[in-house]
Chains A and B, each alone.
Chain A
Amino acid sequence: MSQTLKPETAEHLLEVLKWAVAEKSSLDVRGNGTKQGFGRPMRTTHTLDLSGLSGIKVYEPHELFMTAYSGTPVADIEAALRQNNQQMAFEPADLGPLLGMAEGTGTIGGVIACNLAGPRRIQAGAARDHFLGFNAVSGRGEVFKSGGTVVKNVTGFDLSKLIAGSFGTLAVMTEATFKVLPAAEKTRTVLALGLTDTRAMKAMSQALGSANDVSGAAHLPAAQAARSGVSYVSGAGQAVTAVRVEGPGPSVEHRCQAIRGLWADKGAQLEELHSQNSAALWKEIRDVRLLDAAEGKQVWRVSVPPMEGAGVGGELLGASGGEVFYDWGGGLIWLAHDGCPDANHDQVRAAVAKAGGHATLIRADADVRGLVPVFEPQPGPLGDITRRVKQGFDPEGVLNPGRMVEGV
């Protein structure tokens, strides 16, 4: 009979895994379960609930790192960081609401396992780039650790990078160590109104390539801008292109001026958002709140070289009849469309393949996710390596079997 196993300690987790390996039982590994709708649907013998492994273990603000148990809610971590004016610079997205779950309940283990990062990714990198080390139990039922607390470490294979984004299929983390960085003193956002998608990509590229240290660059077509809770954006009545600048006060003002100067010849009306409105807008972008995510809608996340963004976006719209907005300077496209049995899979993959990118089906009913590949299919040799790596870590297929690729 299916059970939910909820270890309270790393030792207990190890026992559970040894037992599962011996019994050849498979486990649905989860934190608070906010992302159970992300990835392929699984049939597992039992559920492994990690929410009991919770709490901040070591937080050294001066050392700029934190070690937390994997089931620690991100909200708790962010609250502790705020008290010291620090943040996780990769800006982890809270996809809970998009996936029909409560806001603010995801765990740090989940963020790392799914390698979630927000708009600051273009400047600061993804979750994996901030993930320094971990303790884990492999699918062989063996405890191991990798990395450490220092930023530079070249001791052998970089297992942290392999674990980040592996969706719990290789090992179960018990604790994770990650970088924390000072939060910016001031944030401003320069807005350009009314640019076409193509011109917006150019404008964002220009800002990103300048010496102004841009930490976010997004383009919202008119209908998506209209959904914003920030009145300057929703009231624009046209497309809004936004770039974010963060840092000490005088420097931020100077850089905003410089970006306005760069964009002076665009023939677009320029506006500026101050700290509070900036924070609200970038959170909406980060958590994908600007799409019509009504029940039954399906959502894709598409990654392409930034300058291909507008072209691919146009094709996706034509093929699916849905809606899009762009983050990461055009390199990230969020697409929502009406639900259909194949999630427009072939059309989406074809549009993305031409540009040299990849697409992930983030939201769809389980039967659809069971039918079409959720992640970008890997060509022959890459698929072989994936299977061999999985085999190396989890030969019995105990951990999240089939979550990423059928049969792996």
Chain B
Amino acid sequence: MTTKAAHINDDLIEALRGIVGDRLSLAEAVREQHGRDESYHDAFPPDVVVYPETTDEVSDIVKLCAARDVPVIPYGTGTSLEGHVAALKGGVCIDLMRLDRIISVNPEDMDVTVEAGVTRKKLNEDLRDTGLFFPIDPGADASIGGMTATRASGTNAVRYGTMRENVLAMTVVMADGRIIRTSRRARKSSAGYDLTRLFVGSEGTLGVITEITLRLYGIPEAVSSAVCSFPDLEAAIETVISTIHAGVPVARIELLDDVQMDAINKYSKMDFPVLPTLFFEFHGSKNGVVEQVETVEALATDVGASDFQWAVKQEDRNRLWQARHDSLYACMALKPGSKGMATDVCVPISRLAECILETRKDIEETGLLAPIVGHVGDGNFHVILLIDTEDKDDLEICKAFNERLVMRALAMDGTCTGEHGIGYGKMDFLVAEHGEAVSVMRAVKMALDPQNIMNPGKIVRV
């Protein structure tokens, strides 16, 4: 399946060394690591990994590759989930983690400009003294460049949106090596097509993102968390719907099903009831937060919830959310030696209960061990399929299950991927979901990368 790029040769390696010196690796272990993300997808190592330190170096590397028709694969922390970083046709992997400077913080304008390799945790540590923070939290300590390229979101999208709402501008090295700045720090109104948003979520297929200007938020005066168990799934989702409909600006709402709660209890040594459970987080002023919690508690109690636990103290909150964040590891502990394959459908909230219940039934009928967690405020949920990657049958059963799940979501007017993206793992689902729009996407790809050297084989086939 791997077809090596024809033009990788000693001459190219020498030319790359001319740009990055010894910040280049041909070692098999390094290449292997850069061809694999956190998913179950097969790894495809690049031919060489380079570690530039500036946008200009990235530009020189891309120019070199463009002149020789060599694929370019941008790489951040490798935490994607659909094989986004796999070098399907070999090529040069640009590891951007050495572009790790925070270029400028503008507290009064509430924005920050960073290089692509800055991770979200490092950014927030640096911002701490300004009273501001960057809220998007996909779980992994991903790089801002990678989060931008995959249009990441995560647990608090209900209140703060996703990367698409929070990237103001960026610097991109185009497929021909030219450097462009897509917008400026000013809020964009109309200065041509919105190329900033086009690059957000382009998965490295249109250019290499090297700098990003992000919108920041004031650290909330008060933060509070709550956990609440429900007699059944419908009651939990009813509470989510009524909360959102009441206009409560809740920061996070996470649903964990009974299987997941059991896993968490075992892994994190907690003693939550083994029932469908919602985790909430509230941000705001002191009074505002109290009001939000009381409103939600009343809504939950109305549908028969019990045991509404409210945590204000930081260590209690951390303990709760750590348990939520560890859910994938907790799942894997249920079946030692397995790998998690996370599905990612998103459906309208009114269809969420129906979709999850049908999926639960499918899990039981297929005989899988698969907990469900969901960012239910926006209708997005993940089934964690615990698979033995060595066992081809197991993998096929799980893939077939995922296909049924995606078709179920599409039939309910949903999408095959709410936050993980297409990569090379979901290209067929993209066609099933969008049909003709894929040809328009191909036209966009051809307009920006006519040679098809930017992360080829992802999102659309050219």
A interface residues (Cβ-Cβ under 8 A, vs B): 60-65, 114-115, 121-122, 125-126, 128-129, 138, 142-146, 148-159, 161-162, 164-167, 170, 181-182, 184-185, 202, 205, 208-213, 247-248, 250-251, 254-255, 258, 301, 303-307, 328, 331-332, 355-358, 360, 375-376, 378-379, 381-382, 385-386, 388-389, 391-393, 404-405
Contacts and interface: CB of A to CB of B under 8 A. Distances in A.
A386 B194 CA distance: 9
A158 B291 contact: no
A158 B448 contact: no
B218 interface: yes
A39 to B, nearest CB: 9
A201 to B, nearest CB: 8
Nearest to A387: B447
Contact of B178 (A209, A255, A303, A381): A381
A145 B241 contact: no
B357 interface: no
B186 A303 contact: yes
B287 A251 contact: yes
Of A125, A155, A158, A167, most buried by chain B (CB within 10 Å of CB) is A155
Nearest to B348: A63
Contacts of A247: 247, 288
Contacts of B433: 148, 155
Given A165-B194, A357-B184, A392-B444, A152 B436 contact: no
A281 to B, nearest CB: 21
A12 to B, nearest CB: 18
B221 A385 contact: no
A158 B249 contact: no
Contacts of B153: 152
Interface of B: 106-111, 131-132, 150-151, 153, 157, 161-162, 164-165, 174, 178-182, 184-195, 197-198, 200-202, 206, 218-222, 241, 244-247, 249, 283-285, 287-288, 291, 346-350, 375, 378-380, 413-422, 426, 429-430, 433-441, 443-448, 459-460
A385 B191 contact: no
A161 B197 contact: yes
Contact of B186 (A144, A167, A357): A357
A144 B441 CA distance: 10
Contacts of A205: 108-110
A385 B448 contact: yes
A156 B459 contact: yes
Given A156-B438, A157-B459, A129 B287 contact: no
Contacts of A149: 348, 413
B436 A254 contact: no
Contacts of A64: 244-245
Contact of A385 (B109, B415, B447): B447
Given A143-B436, A152-B379, A250-B287, A62 B241 contact: yes
**Most chain A Cβ neighbours within 10 Å, of B107, B220, B380, B443:** B443
B164 A151 contact: no
Nearest to A208: B110
Contacts of A63: 348-350
Contacts of A170: 193
A305 B109 CA distance: 6
Contact of B218 (A129, A211, A250, A356): A211
B440 A144 contact: yes
Query: Of residues A126, A153, A392, which shows the largest number of chain B Cβ atoms within 10 Å of its Cβ?
Result: A153
A127 to B, nearest CB: 10
16 contacts: A128-B194, A148-B415, A149-B413, A152-B346, A158-B197, A165-B190, A170-B193, A210-B218, A331-B186, A331-B187, A355-B186, A357-B184, A358-B189, A382-B182, A385-B174, A386-B192
A142 B422 contact: no
Given A255-B288, A385-B174, A389-B444, A152 B189 contact: no
A181 B249 CA distance: 11
A325 B420 CA distance: 43
B342 to A, nearest CB: 14
B191 A307 contact: no
A62 B197 contact: no
A349 B448 CA distance: 28
Contacts of B437: 144-146, 156, 159
Nearest to A383: B192
B202 to A, nearest CB: 6
Contacts of B206: 157
A166 B182 CA distance: 15
A155 B193 contact: no
B150 A154 contact: yes
B298 to A, nearest CB: 13
Contacts of A328: 187
A144 B157 contact: no
Contacts of B110: 205, 208-209
A208 to B, nearest CB: 7
Contacts of B284: 211, 213, 251
Contact of B190 (A114, A144, A211): A114
Contacts of A115: 189-190, 194
B425 to A, nearest CB: 12
Q: Identify the interface centre among A159, A202, A211: most chain B CB within 10 Å of its CB.
A: A211
Best-surrounded residue of A150, A161, A375 (most CB of chain B within 10 A): A150
Contacts of A250: 287, 291
- Nearest 10 pairs between A and B by C-beta? A161-B197, A392-B443, A182-B247, A388-B447, A152-B418, A211-B221, A376-B191, A357-B186, A303-B186, A392-B447
Contacts of A166: 193-194
Contacts of A142: 436, 439-440
Contact of A159 (B165, B245, B422, B441): B441
Contacts of A162: 193-194, 197-198, 444
A166 to B, nearest CB: 6
Contact of A375 (B192, B245, B288, B375): B192
Contacts of B161: 125, 129
B285 A251 contact: yes
A128 to B, nearest CB: 6
Contacts of A158: 151, 164, 197-198, 200-201
B192 A381 contact: no
A156 B447 contact: no
A114 B439 CA distance: 25
B149 to A, nearest CB: 11
Contact of A358 (B180, B184, B194, B346): B184
Contacts of A304: 186
B421 to A, nearest CB: 5
A145 B185 CA distance: 31
Given A376-B192, A378-B192, A306 B109 contact: yes
Nearest to A204: B108
A63 B350 CA distance: 7
Contacts of B460: 156
Contact of B193 (A210, A332, A379, A389): A389
B350 A388 contact: no
A211 B220 contact: yes
Given A143-B436, A158-B164, A150 B346 contact: yes
Contact of A213 (B188, B249, B436): B249
A154 B379 contact: no
A199 to B, nearest CB: 13
A149 to B, nearest CB: 6
B348 A161 contact: no
